[in-house]
Amino acid sequence: MDERDLQRPELYINRELSLLEFNHRVLEQAKDERLPLLERLNFLCISCSNLDEFFEVRAAGVIQRFELGSTLMTPDALTPQELLAAISDRAHQLVKEQYRVLNDVLIPQLEQNTIRFLRRTEWSDDQQKWLYRYFQEELQPILSPLGLDSAHPFPRILNKSLNFIVSLSGKDAFGRDIDRAILPAPRALPRIVQLPPDEPDNGPYDFVFLSSIIHAFVDDLFQGMKVKGCYQFRVTRNSDLFVDDEEIDDLLRAVEGELAMRNYGDEVRLEIADNCPDETVDFLLARFEMTRDRLYLVDGPVNLNRLREIYDLIDCPDLKFTPFTPGIPAQLRRTTDMFEAIRKQDILFHHPFESFTPVVEFVRQAAEDPQVLAIKQTLYRTGPKSAIVDALVAAARAGKEVTVVIELRARFDEQANISLATRLQEAAVHVVYGVVGYKTHAKMILVLRREGKRLRNYVHLGTGNYHPSTARLYTDYGLLTSNKELGEDVRRVFVQLTSLGKVSKLNKLLQSPFTLHKALLEKIEREIRHVERGRPARIIIKVNSLVEPQAIQALYRASMAGVEVKLIVRGICCLRPGIEAVSDRIEVRSIVGRFLEHSRVYAFENGGEREIYAASADLMNRNMFSRVEVCFPIENKKHKERIMHDLAYYLKDDSQAWLLQPDGSYRRVEPAEEPGFQVQSALLEELGK
């Protein structure tokens, strides 16, 4: 089979449709009776927020291509028009199922556990009085209804904001006949209100949606007029920032300018309460210039993600995951001196099963150590009130040379990163925004320390962000090392990011956009040569997404040659497994569980001389060609065994695993016997305290 045969459309799954399939797998967690009830509610909310981002970025891009008249087809040969139709069909199925799960499954089960969402028809007289006072004192002073007439055109609606369209009759104070008004709900208002649990009619956890309160008392906002109807709606807009890399001379200012427009991008989806009359629906569709294929009529709040607000309000441990304490690697239990521990031996972390605290402590000790001369670090997402950022600020104020490469265009974290850059610059940190045209996605820390008459580099390399909060939610690998060659490689990459000119060849690191893609393809081809010569050959890859066509074709060739290929792909996978004579030796599984699978690992049997790499990069075009990424080798024998042990667990999972089918659907793996094997639970038991 030649290269053109491996480019046949039937060998590829559409990227956008694969992402929607992942969201269906997340929603399935909300139905899983084995999970604690409030965690199932959280999975429902996650599926909603995932879908929001899908429309803001992925669907928006397809719509843009369609409206520009693009005839370019995806590798699976779908035109933009065909893809939009498929997206609409699958997304409507997903939304319908989200609300069915909420209304028919979760709400009844929550009520059985004294957690109630009270509809207006269920309010007692006392509850009605309390909510009316709440409306008058907390809501009415903030709400600003906007009448629609020739002097008051339809307002600009903020992206994903809660709004109401109100149907009216009668005349206002100026004698105007106004039949419609728009009522925006300010984002400062809570979307769910808890009734006081100490009142006689109230249970311990009684909640009312903000939309229900507004519906009940909206008449007070239109004195002298009659409210004929009040219906919630929400519009989703294109939120992908556009920064022209060839035209900008100040990246920070350019990103700030684009952020101001994010709330008013082109409309891509309209959600409306399903009891809204057709006439009003058509009115809104016309105002937003949308067709019905982008309309979603919903039976409940238009933003299910807001239900997450109740999680912290409910003190019911049996309805939540059991708290856990991450473990500490043995090397760090014997000493408090990070540098001493790293000098003795490389330290491998598997978060969140093992604590992220030692990574924070590494930076903190570097900031305080008088022997440390310089600290360099990349920051992609860090979260508010970051202890790592505090340490970097302290280091700079102590007179150390501190350089931070911040990626301003980390999607949906742009504003936070701009604020972070400002704070660091005020502390005299050298702040760099990376390379124009290439997002800096690599996760690296370099500490330069004077030890006697020599300088030693200490390095941290990771697959995930320097974000202590997500380090308890995402699975990632991290490596602390004082290996001379790795340290020199990391130093060279920082020189590349902060200055001009070419950098000499790296010793051990593979780097995008230069060597990583080519090296991975060569390593796949090497496995083919091994199997042809009767040597051990096997490929195991664990990533978030697999999209890049050349990598897919290389894996097809490996399968055709007889190489066993095991792929653990959490989200998007465009490779189609199980095709006779092409991919019948390829298995693709997705793990969806308590923690978000985020680690990237590339393992090659290599004729018995196994090679393992961990990376910040997925197998996507952007990671290979338009981002700065690093892929680092795992060379310590015990660490190699440890990662292979972990991968074996992922391949053994029969409780949280889904297998990709040749038609692009996923089949849940059924346990041989209950309760089945859960990789995340097993790793928590082995590595946690």
CA 588: distance to chain centroid?
21
Q: Does residue 4 belong to any structural domain of this protein?
A: no
For residues 467 and 543, state if they share a domain.
Answer: no
User: Do 386 and 411 fall into the same domain?
Assistant: yes
Q: Which residue type sits at 35?
A: L
Q: How far is CA 638 from CA 4, 326, 580, in A?
A: 42, 20, 38
Mean pLDDT (the chain) is 92
Work out how many domains the chain is built from and give that number: 3
Residue appearing with tokens 């927020």:
49
Together in a domain, 516 and 490: no
Same domain as 401, residue 258: no
CA angle 353, 359, 364 (to 5 degrees): 145
Domain that holds residue 363: 330-507
Asked whether residue 324 is domain-assigned, the answer is no
Q: What is the CATH number of the domain that holds 13?
A: 3.30.1840.10
Residues 492 and 516 in one domain: no
Q: What are phi and psi of 414, to 5 degrees?
A: -60, -45
pLDDT tens for residues 152-204?
788 989 999 999 999 998 876 666 677 899 999 999 899 999 999 988 889 99
Q: Which residues contact 96 (CB under 8 A, 6 or more apart)?
A: none
Q: CA neighbours within 13 Å on the CB side: how many for 321? A: 16
The tens digit of pLDDT for each residue in 290-305 reads 999 999 999 999 999 9
Whether 40 is covered by a domain: the verdict is: yes
Contact partners, residue 496, CB within 8 Å, separation at least 6 = 435, 503
Whole-number pLDDT of residue 415: 74
Structure tokens at 279: 């006439």
Final residue of a structural domain among 476, 507, 538: 507
d(CA 520, CA 421): 34
Percent of the chain with pLDDT over 90: 79
Q: Residue 513, preceding bond cis, omega within 30 degrees?
A: yes
Report pLDDT digits (tens) over 136-147: 999 999 999 998
Give the pLDDT confidence score for residue 243 in this predicted structure.
44
Question: Model confidence at 246, in pLDDT bands (50, 70, 90)?
Answer: very low
CB distance 195 to 115 below 8 Å:
no
pLDDT of residue 473: 95
pLDDT at residue 256, as a whole number = 46
Q: Where a domain ends, among 507, 539, 560?
A: 507
User: What is the tens place of the pLDDT at every residue in 105-124?
Assistant: 999 999 999 999 999 999 99
CATH of the domain at 629: 3.30.870.10
Residue-level pLDDT at 245: 45
In a domain, 217, yes or no: yes
**Residue 38's pLDDT band (boundaries 50, 70, 90)?**
very high
Output the pTM of the full model: 0.93
Q: In the beta sheet, which residues pair with residue 540?
A: 566, 603
Amino acid code (one letter) for 600? R
Q: What is the predicted pLDDT for the residue at 261? A: 53
**What average pLDDT score do residues 609-615 get?**
98
Size of the chain, expressed as the number of residues it contains: 689
pLDDT tens for 519-576 read: 999 999 999 999 999 999 999 999 999 999 999 999 999 999 999 999 999 999 999 9
Please tell me the predicted confidence (pLDDT) of residue 134. Answer: 97
Query: Which pLDDT tens digit goes with each residue over 266-289?
Result: 899 999 999 999 999 999 999 999
Burial 473-498, CB ≥16 within 10 A → b, else e:
ebbbbbbbbbbeebbbbbbbbbebbe
Q: Is 2 inside any structural domain?
A: no
**Residue 403 pLDDT:** 96
Of residues 71 and 454, the one with the higher pLDDT is: 454
- In-domain check, residue 1: no
Whether residue 361 is found in the same domain as residue 415: yes
Query: Could you tell me if 412 and 559 lie in one domain?
Result: no
CA-to-CA separations, 408 to 258, 421, 432, 484, in angstroms, rounded? 12, 9, 10, 31
Q: Confidence band (pLDDT; 50, 70, 90) for 434?
A: confident
Specify the higher pLDDT residue, 382 or 488.
488
Looking at residue 476, the DSSP 8-state letter turns out to be E
What pLDDT, in 10s, does the model give residues 336-345?
A: 899 999 999 9
pLDDT computed for residue 5 by the predictor: 85
The confidence band for 604, taking pLDDT boundaries of 50, 70 and 90, is very high
Q: Could you tell me the maximum CA-CA distance found in the chain, to the nearest angstrom? A: 90
- The alpha-helical segments, DSSP class H, found in 8-100 are 15-31, 37-53, 60-67, 80-100
101-105, 316-320, 378-382 — which is least confidently predicted?
378-382
Residues 516 and 470 in one domain: no
What pLDDT is stored for residue 374 in this prediction?
Answer: 97
Q: How far apart are CA 181 and CA 228, in angstroms?
A: 11
Show which of 472, 492, 507 is a domain's final residue: 507
Q: Judge whether residue 251 has pLDDT over 60.
A: no
What is the pLDDT, as a whole number, of residue 659?
A: 98
- Judged against a pLDDT cut of 60, whether residue 242 lies above it is answered with no
pLDDT, position 100: 98
What's the rounded mean pLDDT across residues 643-662?
97
78 lies in the same domain as 201 = yes
Position 248 pLDDT exceeds 80: no
> Measuring CA to CA, which residue among 251, 453, 258, 482 is closest to residue 366?
482
Contact 245, 409 (CB under 8 A): no
The answer to the question of residue 552 being in a domain is yes
Do 364 and 230 belong to one domain?
A: no
| pLDDT band (50, 70, 90) for residue 381 | confident
Does 325 reside within a domain?
A: no
575 with 548, same domain: the answer is yes
**In a shared domain, residues 556 and 469:** no
**Confidence (pLDDT) at 397:** 94
Using CA atoms, how far apart are residues 682 and 687, in angstroms rounded to an integer?
9
Alpha carbon separation from 554 to 518, 519, 539, 658 (Å, rounded): 11, 12, 11, 24
Element housing 686 (H / E): helix 679-687
Q: Which residues are catalytic?
A: 441
